[in-house]
Amino acid sequence: MSADPTTTTMPRLRLIIQLALTCVVIGAIGSVVIAQWRDSLPDPVATHFGTSEADGFTSLPWVIAQPFIVGAVCAAVGAALLMTAVPRSLAQWVTGGIAGLAAGIVVLVLTMVGRQRGLADAALATFSPWSIVPAIVAGVVVGALLTRLVPQWSEPDSPSGDGERPVAPLRDGERFVWTRRASSTLATAALIAVSAVPLCVVGWVTGMRLLFVVALILVLIGAVMWSVRVTVNRQGVTIRSGLGWPKITVAMDEIDHAEVVEVNALRDYGGYGYRVGVTGPRKGTKGFVLRSGSALLLIKRDGGGVVVVVVDDAATAAGLVNAVCAAR
């Protein structure tokens, strides 16, 4: 069953408007509050701290504008992500994460600036790591509230049952090599970026360089898992990332048969990358799920497990595997 556009588009549009307005309003409130503090703040304002002392400064007008800019950017990123055909489960994560991110950053800026009220010189300002706690609390609360506002909409039924088992017309002993590259979507890249941004912001404000390292590791993991190369020949099936690792090799003698199935990355595997199915029709399968779509399913012999990879032209790959297996 396919989703009814009339019951999918309108709730999604309302959600985009709600999220965008929430982020912009949060940012605007932050800018208005700092503007109200203008007469009691130094100019420039301390905006970066080392261990505890200020070592970076920004003009007061720019500091006033920062919360609104944060809200506007979060609104734009959230709208861009929600305009893609994401399932409701992912829409909830995006909505809560983006709204929480906007609230957390704005509260962090307000906390940092508020501590400087009454100072004649921003160089005298200090920053305590405990100041991050209100930002985290605000982000969690706002994110949780916005998640609950995500409306219901109809989606395609989850795939169930056995997949198709095509068989390619191969001659005895005929040699072949089939290869395709499977890549992630831009939405996946945006999610990785959104995850790394708050770490960089907190690291920049507090001077905790370790957070930049964590953000870099997150981006590197995303780069490694951005695409995989799938190769099928008479010897077996190889799936390797763009950097050569991680890698899965399944010898043809290990395979009982291959199937073609439709996979929803969020619903069936809870995310993107190297995944393991823990519930539903894909329970027990493992492999590379970089996006939703047609997937090659390799069922090993004697209960050896099931390998999955979402790749274009999965039917041809499955047909070649089944032709070799049938000729054994």
Q: Domain holding 241: CATH number?
A: 2.30.29
- Give mean pLDDT, residues 309-319: 95
pLDDT at residue 252, as a whole number? 95
Residue at 69 is within a domain: yes
Q: What is the pLDDT of residues 36-55, one digit of tens each?
A: 999 999 988 887 776 667 77
Q: Do residues 326 and 293 share a domain?
A: yes
Q: Among 126, 148, 170, which residue terminates a domain?
A: 148
The percentage of residues in the chain with a pLDDT greater than 90, rounded to a whole number, is 30
Q: Do residues 167 and 313 share a domain?
A: yes
Residue at 113 is within a domain: yes
Residue whose entry in the numeric block shows the structure tokens 């089944």:
322
Q: Do residues 107 and 163 share a domain?
A: no
Q: What is the pLDDT of residues 142-184, one digit of tens each?
A: 988 888 877 765 544 434 446 899 999 988 889 999 999 988 7
Q: Do residues 139 and 279 share a domain?
A: no
Q: Among 101, 127, 148, which residue terminates a domain?
A: 148
Residue at 187 is within a domain: no
Of residues 261 and 210, the one with the higher pLDDT is 261
pLDDT at residue 87, as a whole number? 61
Q: Do residues 35 and 121 share a domain?
A: yes
Total tally of structural domains belonging to the chain: 2
Q: Do residues 258 and 308 share a domain?
A: yes
The model's pTM is 0.54
Q: Do residues 283 and 240 share a domain?
A: yes
Q: Among 101, 125, 148, which residue terminates a domain?
A: 148
pLDDT at residue 185, as a whole number? 65
Q: Do residues 125 and 91 share a domain?
A: yes
- Give mean pLDDT, residues 300-315: 90
Q: Do residues 66 and 112 share a domain?
A: yes
Residue at 201 is within a domain: no
Residue 111 has pLDDT above 70, yes or no: yes
Q: Do residues 164 and 140 share a domain?
A: no
Residue at 13 is within a domain: yes
Q: Do residues 144 and 164 share a domain?
A: no
What amino acid is encoded at 120 in this protein? A
Q: Do residues 140 and 284 share a domain?
A: no
pLDDT at residue 204, as a whole number? 66
pLDDT at residue 119, as a whole number? 87
45: domain range?
Answer: 5-148
The percentage of residues in the chain with a pLDDT greater than 70, rounded to a whole number, is 79
Residue at 293 is within a domain: yes
Residue at 239 is within a domain: yes
Residue at 209 is within a domain: no
